[in-house]
Chains A and B, each alone.
Chain A
């Protein structure tokens, strides 16, 4: 079973980015651009948020 957190997050981001690029954009070029924008934002945003939470205690 694949349980790497980063990979699972990337997979979820991939599915969401594909979904929204087809939902909101009409032509192929626009879809690709939007896909990379959403995918990158989700992935980098989650990593950035993880780093921001790093100093906070777990308990």
Chain B
């Protein structure tokens, strides 16, 4: 990894880029906050958290990988993409998913889109940190 990519080129952020990206994954928007993008951090946090909570409220499932079901691996990646929200919900026994619930499929959609949006934020955090994106 080149020197510029190892540490953030952003002034005021001395964190190594991998740590920054890891923190961005754990809490949605946290990477942007550490890079001084406060408004975007707040918007990203709100959008992802609201989507996640709606997904849980609709009886969606935080899908875990099942042997013999390749798509469940992709869904699990998207679910884990929610970071800390995923682990807290699992610890509280939430997101078990009720297949017969009327909102089950919608709940899954909200949970998966929230996770994938957070994964996209990791890439954005990386781009800002290494100076590929200047805003």
Residues of chain A whose beta carbon lies under 8 Å from any beta carbon of chain B: 1, 3, 5, 8, 11-12, 15-16, 18-19, 22-23, 26
Q: B57 interface residue, CB < 8 Å from A?
A: yes
User: Once the chains are docked, how many angstroms separate the CA of A22 from the CA of B58?
Assistant: 26
User: Once the chains are docked, how many angstroms separate the CA of A5 from the CA of B103?
Assistant: 9
User: Once the chains are docked, how many angstroms separate the CA of A22 from the CA of B135?
Assistant: 11
Q: Which of A1, A15, A18, A23 contacts B103 (CB 8 A)?
A: A1
Across the two chains, which residue of chain B brings its CB closest to A25?
A: B135
Q: B16 interface residue, CB < 8 Å from A?
A: no
Closest CB-CB distance, B97 to chain A, in whole Å?
Answer: 15
Q: B44 interface residue, CB < 8 Å from A?
A: yes
* Known contacts A12-B109, A22-B40; 14 further A-B pairs (Cβ under 8 A): A1-B103, A8-B58, A8-B103, A8-B106, A12-B113, A15-B51, A19-B43, A19-B47, A19-B48, A22-B39, A22-B43, A22-B44, A23-B40, A23-B120
Q: Which of B47, B106, B135 contacts A18 (CB 8 A)?
A: B47
Q: B54 interface residue, CB < 8 Å from A?
A: yes
Given contacts A3-B103, A8-B106, A16-B117, contact A23 B51 (CB under 8 A): no
User: Once the chains are docked, how many angstroms separate the CA of A54 from the CA of B43?
Assistant: 37
Q: Are A11 and B54 in contact, with the CB atoms below 8 A?
A: yes
User: Once the chains are docked, how many angstroms separate the CA of A38 from the CA of B46?
Assistant: 19
Closest CB-CB distance, B12 to chain A, in whole Å?
Answer: 20
Contact flags (1/0) for B48-92 with A, using CB distance below 8 Å?
101100100110000000000000000000000000000000000
Given contacts A12-B110, A16-B117, A22-B43, contact A1 B51 (CB under 8 A): no
Task: Give chain A residues whose Cβ lies under 8 Å from the Cβ of B58.
Answer: 1, 3, 8
Task: Give chain B residues whose Cβ lies under 8 Å from the Cβ of A18.
Answer: 43, 47
Across the two chains, which residue of chain A brings its CB closest to B110?
A: A12
User: Once the chains are docked, how many angstroms separate the CA of A26 from the CA of B40?
Assistant: 10
